[in-house]
Structure 1
């Protein structure tokens, strides 16, 4: 039956659509209400092809980062530039958006399992498991599932594999780029770590300026760039290269604090 149409991972699309709608309504005020999200570059989203697009981003919380991207991507596709005003853009959401997440994270409770159904490509981390360092082989089924998702739509990935800033980029992302040759869109986010707890489920502080900058596609020579060169490009594109780690001048901190105050949510 068309009503029970499924995606390549067996998820029923009508169920996925309603989950996105409901979760979108429940989370909207986290990014336009309790806090305010400043968006740049979302016009890029509307001009992307329907499949084989890989979004790479720095990572600040387990879930809020991805949820915010679902909002911004769908708002842009419905004609809203750099805005998520009016959550009606989620009535007909893009259903082929996926995101890469650790399998153990997506199994830890009912809500993560629901979020997994919305679009998780759950993989086994090769360097960390159950809070301990490990060293194990990459599962080829995980790589092929990412390829399957790229073939069907868009994939969001966090190439550092951790919410800790300035950690090394995992080479697996570079291998995926060379193998599947997607359009690579860098995203830089900020403010989520201050707004939410580590999982991104509980609001830790209100009136925080969150930001999301969507950049132009990364220039990659799929045939000649080495994985090390691609890793370097990713580091700079998502502003996680060590050169970005600097002491912020006092005047810059004061200017940022003033901007935060300007963007504090006020009842209208």
Structure 2
């Protein structure tokens, strides 16, 4: 690999590799020592094609979720079976791996810009900006950017667009699936909300059991299934369909919502 070789987004791969190495080494203990990360599906990761794979997941923090997936995916590709033991797997990371994130979030600080260079496909949110609810059209350039990332490799997306559980999935994900016809792999995560702050940067509580479950790719009829049918299939796959609320106690749901409101209140007063 030439030292100045770039990916399709103009990022120098040599620099991206060192950023992923650094982030991997610094964050490893957050999942291995301070908390315990339980993994299922490493064998599925190893069976996937090199390109045009879309991972669809529920979302609990801004950054801890996706960093954990970078650990798990790279460890799996290096032969680890449902384990991130020995961080040496991060020395030669998969460089054509991306994640979809809000452009507004990725521009906020030097740290978020570093995270962005390591693999973000930044898009403009259509429903929220600067802390206010909005309603604007999807930018076709954002759809094209995700398509460019899929053409180059793997993309992680969080279609709810929020860390609040059981919110509806954004239909843009179904448009991407029908347009680019990727292999769609559901991922279900848990424990990150309890162990990290909302941004996923600060450890809030130690000794939490975190989990990442990678499921078999979905069977999707790209030509004939409707957008709504695909969305419903994704909601069930990542365990965020409204029917799952029937097995969640009202007390637990209220606790989640109160926790999220408290975080928003604290963040507003820090600005």
Q: Same fold (TM over 0.5)?
A: yes
SS at match of 1:202: coil
Equivalent residue number for residue 168 of structure 1: 168
Q: Deviation of residue 246 (structure 1)?
A: 3.2
**4+ runs deviating over 6 angstroms:** none
C-alpha RMSD of matched pairs (Å)? 1.0
Deviations 1:204-260 (A, max 9, x none): 0000000010000011000100000000000000000011113558xxxxxxxxxxx
CA distance in 1, matches of 2:182, 2:247: 35
CA distance in 2, matches of 1:2, 1:77: 23
Equivalent residue number for residue 6 of structure 2: 6
What pairs with 1:79-228 in structure 2 (closer than 5 Å)? 79-228=79-228
CA distance in 2, matches of 1:196, 1:74: 22
What pairs with 1:24-39 in structure 2 (closer than 5 Å)? 24-39=24-39
SS at match of 1:136: coil
1:65 partnered with 2:62:
no
Q: Deviation of residue 104 (structure 1)?
A: 0.5
**Worse overlay, 1-10 or 116-125:** 1-10
Aligned residues: 249
Equivalent residue number for residue 259 of structure 2: none
TM-score norm. by structure 2 comes to 0.91
CA distance in 1, matches of 2:46, 2:100: 22
Gap regions ≥5 residues in structure 1:
250-268
CA distance in 2, matches of 1:131, 1:55: 27
**Worse overlay, 239-248 or 148-157:** 239-248
SS at match of 2:246: coil
CA distance in 1, matches of 2:146, 2:207: 36
Q: Deviation of residue 42 (structure 1)?
A: 1.5
CA distance in 2, matches of 1:107, 1:121: 12
What pairs with 1:246-257 in structure 2 (closer than 5 Å)? 246-247=246-247
CA distance in 1, matches of 2:212, 2:244: 17
SS at match of 1:245: helix
Q: Deviation of residue 3 (structure 1)?
A: 1.3
Equivalent residue number for residue 266 of structure 1: none
TM-score norm. by structure 1 comes to 0.92
Gap regions ≥5 residues in structure 2:
250-271
Q: Deviation of residue 52 (structure 1)?
A: 0.1
Q: Deviation of residue 15 (structure 1)?
A: 0.4
Q: Deviation of residue 143 (structure 1)?
A: 0.3
